[in-house]
A and B are shown apart, each in its own frame.
Chain A
């Protein structure tokens, strides 16, 4: 592959010099997504990122305008909430822990949990991670800084640690008869802290930031978080998927791999490893759409799992 590009491929297949591979060949720091900005313009090269930030901050704002301005649209937090006094929404991850701990919740929590469960089952499990979860802002910031500082290496635990952790979270709930994980769960703690006050929870958030920045690249969201693992389980059959529809145009610049929070999910679709269609069906994909943004060749698009077409 190296030889091929070095041998001088045709102009449109040339690896852009700012991309991960282009920079590696020149021995300089990569600027993934730079080519996309040049070819598509800044706005289009950040479309999904901006939409995601709007979604994350918008949802947070819905929770915050109550305590800040007294406009009670949503009460509560991501663990359980009440919208406009009628719509209950509950995190099914918490309901699962509660059931494991031997408590049967009221109807509101069951209905609310059912609604959230159905949404992520249908639409996309880890959409929660990239479009709702506030920790994503923290770990994205760490990953961005890691790229900007050119920090290499680090040691992340195996990617399936989170699945084991998810199992153990339910086991300790059953053994201790309490929602033991919620004492330390950074996901619920950050969201609750933003709305109800932090105390020392900043320490845990800072811990995750520096863990991701200095120790384990994408360590928390990509390897440890049992809540993400829970939503990944929900996303196995969900509708919204990323497709490498124009993979024939790929110039192997590797920028998508550099920005992807779960880089292992790209290869099967982009390079046709173990599958023929261009859909990213791996449940670990968070459908963040960052690969769509940074690709100067518009290889990726967000579509449904039924759309296997290539263009």
Chain B
């Protein structure tokens, strides 16, 4: 039988072939233009979609957001090694760069594992292995954002955010203030100190308000103002120099507060001018000081 396995002459190909450089360039320009447009679209979309929602917190040790988006390969190994299912990978539509890890403190906060498994798991360098002490993490910064609804600001003793803080008394302290509404009680105001706050979000998670939390962890960029470098803090300069740079100031005594530091007008119970036989006015209809005894 005859086999049709001869190599066919390529006259046809030769005739229609290399119509020279011009056609090649024209074709290449069209194709390259199309591909370029597609890539440009992707690039512009990526830039536009790289804004991080304020409630999305990056894992501990995450590089600054710009670098993070260049380094993270979106593999999810940090998510897998998070023992508390805190971290999740962003899905398309979550508003966070697709496939990158983040957590929402109100849902599941960071438990601040001492061995920081998420950072150890990261192969890409997006989570900095220089972070070995979770206490030095800066995932975000807690801000008591709603002073109108915070129970402590209303004069109650909720204190939950303060109690749950893993860095209690450093990252969150309760600052005692006079309660101007009742005029006789103290308010203990939860106050965040950026130096110690890791941004773990346990305060936000445990805020007792039914819906949104009054205290929220925000990206540091959002939460913190920039330092006024031109403003010299007199007290710091004084400490550094050992004496006031502008000489001693006249310190006028405050009656009843003579033994306190100058300028400290906070009044603790039993301090301050004592009025003999002082009795607070009786509030009508019971309430505080109604005389009720168990």
Contacts and interface: CB of A to CB of B under 8 A. Distances in A.
Interface of A: 4, 10, 12-13, 66, 72, 75-77, 79-82, 88, 90-91, 94-95, 98, 101-106, 108-109, 112, 157-158, 160-162, 164-165, 167-169, 171-173, 175-184, 188-189, 192-193, 195-201, 203-204, 224, 247-248, 250, 271-274, 276
Contacts, number: 198
Contacts of B39: 165, 168-169, 171-172, 180-181
Contacts of A98: 70-71, 73, 124
Contact of A183 (B73, B94, B98, B129): B98
Given A88-B123, A168-B35, A81 B42 contact: no
Nearest to A195: B76
Contact of B123 (A12, A90, A188): A90
A273 B73 contact: no
Given A77-B75, A164-B36, A183-B46, A193 B70 contact: no
A158 B23 CA distance: 14
B96 to A, nearest CB: 10
Interface string B73-101: 11111011100000011111110011100
Interface string B2-16: 011111101001000
A189 B98 CA distance: 8
A203 B125 CA distance: 30
Given A81-B77, A98-B73, A161-B35, A176 B43 contact: yes
B124 A172 contact: no
B69 interface: yes
B38 interface: yes
Contacts of B92: 189, 193, 198-201, 203-204
B76 A158 contact: no
* Size category, B interface: 35 or more
Interface string B56-77: 0000000000110111111111
A115 to B, nearest CB: 12
Nearest to B3: A248
B75 A76 contact: yes
B5 A248 contact: yes
B98 A66 contact: no
B9 to A, nearest CB: 10
B77 A178 contact: no
Given A105-B124, A164-B34, 14 more contacts: A13-B4, A75-B77, A81-B75, A90-B75, A165-B39, A172-B43, A178-B69, A179-B72, A180-B45, A181-B39, A182-B46, A196-B99, A199-B90, A224-B38
Contacts of A272: 5-8
Nearest to B65: A178
B256 interface: no
A182 B43 CA distance: 10
Interface in B124-177: 124-126, 129
B40 interface: yes
Contacts of B243: none
B49 interface: yes
B27 interface: yes
Contact of A188 (B3, B8, B42, B99): B99
A196 B100 CA distance: 11
Contacts of B42: 169, 172, 180-181, 183-184
B1 interface: yes
